[in-house]
């Protein structure tokens, strides 16, 4: 079998350099463990950016994938298939109780593939709802977003990012889509101010993350989500929660908004929905917002969205998240992991630590200076994690992780950091 260097060289030669990976090649994986071609074993503390909640190659998800692969995989939405309906029924039943539906209009979903597509769909739905239902004058709809957001990398989404270097790429992807207004994250007062400044009658939606994952696990102040709910209701502005990274138990509650018992008007879901094997995403909202008077045939679509293979996998992923109480596990073991990291931070570390924070199994250490060399040192000792914004290392292992496995990871993290 060729060695790791062979595969890294191939990537460098043939793949556009849109990532700068940690130099490890993963050729096998099971649960929380991944292996390189040389047979070295690592604990995965990134989980494909929170997509591997159920652990790598979960046997039941792989079984569902294989069984469906033998029947029918892709039909396109030109025809019906016998898997999408059952999947979306289950998704709406599971997510519905977390969605604000004041008129009891019912819950509906729109299936897509990647998180970015779920966000794009949410933006289109918000604008269409704004014009059709809220009667915003044509081309005047505004959507408010947050500083340091990460919602994906399409050209529109890149345009309302504040990551000048990476996502906006210094204007090299411009001109950007108009109609988005950026406000500070975690500041509900600012949300109300900007709605009043724009004119509430022109604001279609507020899009936010319950915890900003890519920004470095930024947790908003207590009560923020509740205040956002009140403001959005007051001004008839759609509250759209991007739960693509925080959803399905990652933060120790089924959804990030649950921490404040808040129901957004629409939820954007992805990552872990696909069970770590297949891209599956969706917007889940009410019939009032996405019903046939707003989204009509031909107005939005995706060749792969809602395909039978994705539906089979996602249905099984949902089932495992619920049956195995993964949110509860994340709460319990996340607290344990966080405490372990905080104990390490009390010691003298090779790079000074500014803060340790997190909720559930979405954790981070923020360093005073660059941390890339630290993730490489972790890798050399058997822990895979990734830095974000150069000084922050996120720890987001599969939610099936055990206490012993956390101890295993903590020991290595301490050995590296406390010289
Ligand atoms: C909150 C959030 N939204 C959207 C996305 C984009 O998802 P994808 O990479 O599947 O397009 C991400 C990805 O990290 C994310 O964290």
- Ligand 1 binding pocket includes 386 (Cβ within 6 Å): no
- Burial environment of residue 169 by CB neighbours within 10 A (0 to 12, 13 to 18, 19 or more): middle
Q: Is the pLDDT of residue 1 over 90?
A: no
Please report the pLDDT score of residue 399 as a whole number.
Answer: 98
Which residue's CA is the nearest one to ligand 1's atom 10? 115
Which protein residue has the closest C-alpha to ligand 1 atom 8?
Answer: 115
Note if 242 is an active site residue: yes
The catalytic residue among 44, 242, 265, 288 is 242
Ligand 1 neighbour 265 (Cβ under 6 A): no
d(CA 226, CA 235): 15
Of all residues in the chain, the percent with pLDDT exceeding 90 is: 99
C-alpha of residue 392 to centroid of ligand 1, in Å: 18
Closest ligand 1 atom to residue 213 Cα is 16
> 224 — phi, psi (to 5°)?
-60, -50
Taking the complete model, does pTM exceed 0.85, yes or no?
yes
User: What is the Å distance from ligand 1's center to 165 Cα?
Assistant: 18
| Ligand 1 pocket residue status of 266, Cβ below 6 Å | no
What pLDDT digit, counting tens, does each position of 138-151 carry? 999 999 999 999 99
Ligand 1, closest atom to CA 49?
A: 14
d(CA 125, CA 232): 16
User: Quick one: what percent of the chain has pLDDT higher than 70?
Assistant: 100
CB of 376 closer than 8 Å to CB of 388? no
* Sequence spans of domains, the chain: 82-323
Atom number, ligand 1, closest to the C-alpha of residue 279: 10
Fold for the domain defined by 82-323: 3.40.640
- Respond yes or no: is residue 28 known to be catalytic: no
- Reported as a pLDDT band with limits 50, 70 and 90, residue 218 is very high
38 DSSP 8-state letter: T
Could you tell me which of 206, 170, 212 has the C-alpha nearest to residue 188?
206
For the residues 56-71, what does the mean pLDDT come to?
Answer: 98
Across 286-306, average pLDDT:
98
State the distance from the centre of ligand 1 to the C-alpha of 419, rounded, in angstroms.
35
Contact 327, 254 (CB under 8 A): yes
Q: Which residues, 6 or more positions from 213, have their beta carbon under 8 angstroms from its beta carbon? A: 49, 50, 150, 245, 246, 362, 394
Decide: 151 in ligand 1 pocket, CB within 6 A: yes
Q: Which atom of ligand 1 is nearest to the CA of 242?
A: 1
Catalytic site includes residue 379: no
CA–centroid distance, 50 to ligand 1, in Å, is 10
Check pLDDT > 90 for residue 300: yes
| Ligand 1 binding pocket mutation candidate from 49, 113, 152 (most atoms within 8 A of CB) | 152
- Look at the chain and count its residues: 419
For ligand 1, whether the C-beta of 49 sits within 6 Å is yes
**419 pLDDT tier (thresholds 50, 70, 90):** confident
Q: Burial code of 55-87, b = ≥16 C-beta within 10 A, e = fewer?
A: bbbbeebbebbeebeeeebebebeeebebbeeb
């Amino acid at each position: 079998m060729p060695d790791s260097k062979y595969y890294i060289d191939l990537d460098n030669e043939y793949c556009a350099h849109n990532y700068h990976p940690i130099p490890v090649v993963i050729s096998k994986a099971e649960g929380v463990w991944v292996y390189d071609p040389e047979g070295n074993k690592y604990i995965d503390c990134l989980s494909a950016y929170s997509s591997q909640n159920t652990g790598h190659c979960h046997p039941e998800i792989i079984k569902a994938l294989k069984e469906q692969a033998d029947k029918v995989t892709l039909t396109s939405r030109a025809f019906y298939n016998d898997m999408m309906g059952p999947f979306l029924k289950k998704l709406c039943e599971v997510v519905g109780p977390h969605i604000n539906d004041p008129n009891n209009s019912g819950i509906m979903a729109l299936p897509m593939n990647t998180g970015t597509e779920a966000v794009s769909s949410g933006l289109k739905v918000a604008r269409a709802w704004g014009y059709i239902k809220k009667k915003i004058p044509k081309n005047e709809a505004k959507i408010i977003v947050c500083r340091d957001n990460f919602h994906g990398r399409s050209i529109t989404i890149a345009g309302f990012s504040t990551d000048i270097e990476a996502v906006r790429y210094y204007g090299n992807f411009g001109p950007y889509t108009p109609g988005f207004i950026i406000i500070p994250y975690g500041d509900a007062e600012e949300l109300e101010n900007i709605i009043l400044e724009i004119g509430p009658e022109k604001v279609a939606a507020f899009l936010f993350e319950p915890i900003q994952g890519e920004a470095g696990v930024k947790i908003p102040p207590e009560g923020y989500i509740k205040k956002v709910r009140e403001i959005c209701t007051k001004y008839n502005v759609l509250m759209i929660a991007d739960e693509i990274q925080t959803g399905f138990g990652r933060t120790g509650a089924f959804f990030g908004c649950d921490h404040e018992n808040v129901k957004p008007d629409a939820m954007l879901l992805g990552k872990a929905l696909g069970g770590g094997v297949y891209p599956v995403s969706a917007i889940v909202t009410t019939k009032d917002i996405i019903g046939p008077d707003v989204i009509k045939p031909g107005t939005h679509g995706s060749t792969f969205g809602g395909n039978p293979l994705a539906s089979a996998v996602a249905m099984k992923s949902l089932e495992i998240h619920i049956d195995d109480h993964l949110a509860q596990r994340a709460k319990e073991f996340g607290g344990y992991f966080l405490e372990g990291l905080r104990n390490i931070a009390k010691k003298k570390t090779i790079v000074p630590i500014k803060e340790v924070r997190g909720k559930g199994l979405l954790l981070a250490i923020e360093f005073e200076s660059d941390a890339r060399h630290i993730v490489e040192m972790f890798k050399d000792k058997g822990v895979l994690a990734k830095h974000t914004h150069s000084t922050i290392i996120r720890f987001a292992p599969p939610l099936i992780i055990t206490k012993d496995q956390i101890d295993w990871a903590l020991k290595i993290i301490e050995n590296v950091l406390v010289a």
